[in-house]
Amino acid sequence: MRFLLALALAVPGAPGGGDPYFPDQGNGGYDAGHYDLVLDYNPSSNALTGALTLTARSTQDLSAFDLDLVDTLAVRSVTVDGAAAAFSQKGQELVVTPAAALANGQDFTVAVRYDGKPTHVLDPDGSRDGWIRTSDGVFNANEPQGAMTWYPGNHHMTDKATYRFTVTVPDDRVAVANGDLTSKRSGGGRTTFVWDAREPMASYLTTVSIGKFQLTDAKIGNYRTIVAVDPKLAGKATAFAQRHAPILDYFSSLFGPYPFSSTGGIVDHEPNVGYALETQTRPIYPSVPGEGTLSHELAHQWFGDSVTPTRWKDIWLNEGFATYAEWLWLDRTGAKPLQTSFDTAYAQPADFWEMPPGDPGSGAAIFDDPVYDRGAMTLHVLRRTVGDAAFFTILRTWTSEHRYGNADTQAFVALSQRIAGRDLSALFTTWLYKPGKPAL
């Protein structure tokens, strides 16, 4: 009786996750648990064939639900719990209607077969993101919206999941993804790489990057360090790999334990991309990074990857924190005193101070300078106000209380006040939300 009632009341899940900057991103009605993604890619023709098996749980009585996937990729079949499901594609929404409605709280498996020639998207800030082709493969970076250009999913930052990527490419190419390389097998001129990302991950942090990479995999210090470098940088892989452990050790001492089972990086040769990205466990770089960029992307593993904002508006929780960590590392190595980094940022001209970093205003501004520099200055001012002991307790509590989860600015302000034992609303309001240059 209850079951029949549930089916009668089942309604479609929301087509968007409700983020004001990217409203279509993500979908309602279910929680993703694990993505098992099998890809076959031909770099010379850009032909991609994909098979996704996603395990999920419904969060309402569900008659239909969406996955995000651009409609330039063609979906060939969809099943839910093994039974053929009806589906349609429009824009970035793949609408799936299972043969039988799902009851609230039901575990289910959706399998999607698709293929096509993926392309990147253009972000509101003019950058490319998603499946970015290179001369020998793909530079795959997905913040904020590229994931929908190559696989279907619930592409909202709050729906974290574990992943397995099984990627087949020609023998002269390497496919690198997040997590641990768990198998590699060749046959018939093609090689299949299996990568397991066992800690929860937001989909904007996934990557499957492909190229004629030189791949090294070694335990360095406390970390399994898997590095892929473009052949133009041959010979630099070992030195690059060795730069990770000292930074991660230092950050672990300040921020708490490194959250993931492996580290490393993907150093491609694609200077026109114009940015690096903190893809989980294994950031991607368009060229060999300097110490600033390397430490920035590694700091994101705590701030952004393990602890992820709940909405794009709070992006300073990623970029301000990673920038401050970068300042700390440059200070530690003697490259630049922390106070010099702060003073240089504080000396920026009037127009820099117009945008408050806690409220970028639109998706076009989420990576603007104030989000990074004024965000970092906010942390420095917080540290000067509450003292070193309270400040680093705040950071370590933040990374432990929200490990593998999501949190917003309000939660950070509340935590800071709790640990400092005082009202800090004026500080945060001035630095995060008021246009204009704060006095010191």
Q: Which does 275 bind (CB under 5 to 8 A by kind): ligand ARG, Zn ion, none?
A: ligand ARG
Euclidean distance between CA atoms 170 and 188, whole angstroms: 9
Residue 340 CA to residue 331 CA, distance in Å, equals 9
Task: For the CB of residue 440, give the shortest distance to ligand ARG in the complex, in Å.
Answer: 26
User: Which backbone phi and psi does 434 adopt, to 5 degrees?
Assistant: -100, 125
322 binds Zn ion (CB under 5 A): yes
**Ranges of H-type helices in 307-437:** 316-332, 338-346, 369-386, 388-401, 409-420, 425-428
Quote the DSSP letter at residue 303. B
How far is it, in rounded angstroms, from Cα 111 to Cα 83?
10
Q: Give dist(CA 155, CA 401) in Å, integer.
A: 24
> Of the two residues 75 and 208, which places its CB atom closer to ligand ARG in the complex?
208
Q: What angle do CA 229, 230, 232 make, to 5 degrees?
A: 125
Closer of 149 and 166 to ligand ARG (Cβ): 149
CB of 310 closer than 8 Å to CB of 406: yes
Q: Which stretch binds ligand ARG (CB under 6 A): 31-39, 59-67, 83-91, 269-277?
A: 269-277
Q: Which does 227 bind (CB under 5 to 8 A by kind): Zn ion, ligand ARG, none?
A: none
Which CB sits closer to Zn ion, 325 or 419?
325
Longest dimension (CA), the chain: 71
Q: Which stretch binds Zn ion (CB under 5 A): 108-116, 214-222, 311-319, 347-355?
A: 311-319
What six digits make up the tokens of 399?
């990374």
Q: Does residue number 319 form part of the binding site for Zn ion (CB under 5 A)?
A: yes
- Residue 185's H or E segment, with its range, is strand 180-187
| Residue list 35-54, contact with ligand ARG (CB under 6 A) | none
> Between vectors from CA 215 to CA 211 and to CA 217, what angle results, nearest 5°?
150
Gap between the Cα atoms of 178 and 195, Å rounded? 7
**Cβ neighbours for 230, distance < 8 A, ≥ 6 positions apart:** 136, 211, 212, 213, 214, 267, 268, 269
275 in contact with ligand ARG (CB under 6 A)? yes
CA dist 317 and 380 (Å) reads: 14
Residue 368 within binding range of ligand ARG, rule CB under 6 A: no
Q: Pattern 107-146, binding to ligand ARG, x per CB under 6 A?
A: ----------------x-x-x-x-------------x---
Q: Least separation, in Å, of the C-beta of 148 and ligand ARG? A: 14
- Pick the closer one to Zn ion by CB: 322 or 411: 322
Q: How far is the CB of 317 from ligand ARG (least distance, A)?
A: 12
Size of site (CB under 6 A) for ligand ARG: 13
Binder of residue 380, out of Zn ion, ligand ARG, none (CB less than 5 to 8 A by kind) = none
* Segment interacting with ligand ARG, rule: CB under 6 A, options 7-15, 249-257, 275-283, 386-394: 275-283
- Shortest spacing between CB 60 and ligand ARG, in angstroms: 32
Query: First and final CA of the chain: distance in angstroms?
Result: 66
The residue among 166 and 280 lying less far from ligand ARG, judged by its C-beta, is 280
Q: Which is nearer to ligand ARG, 276 or 382 (CB)?
A: 276
Name the residue nearer to ligand ARG (CB basis): 82 or 271.
Answer: 271
Q: Contact between 367 and ligand ARG (CB under 6 A)?
A: yes
Binding site for Zn ion (CB under 5 A): 319, 322
Binding site for ligand ARG (CB under 6 A): 123, 125, 127, 129, 143, 275-278, 296-297, 319, 367
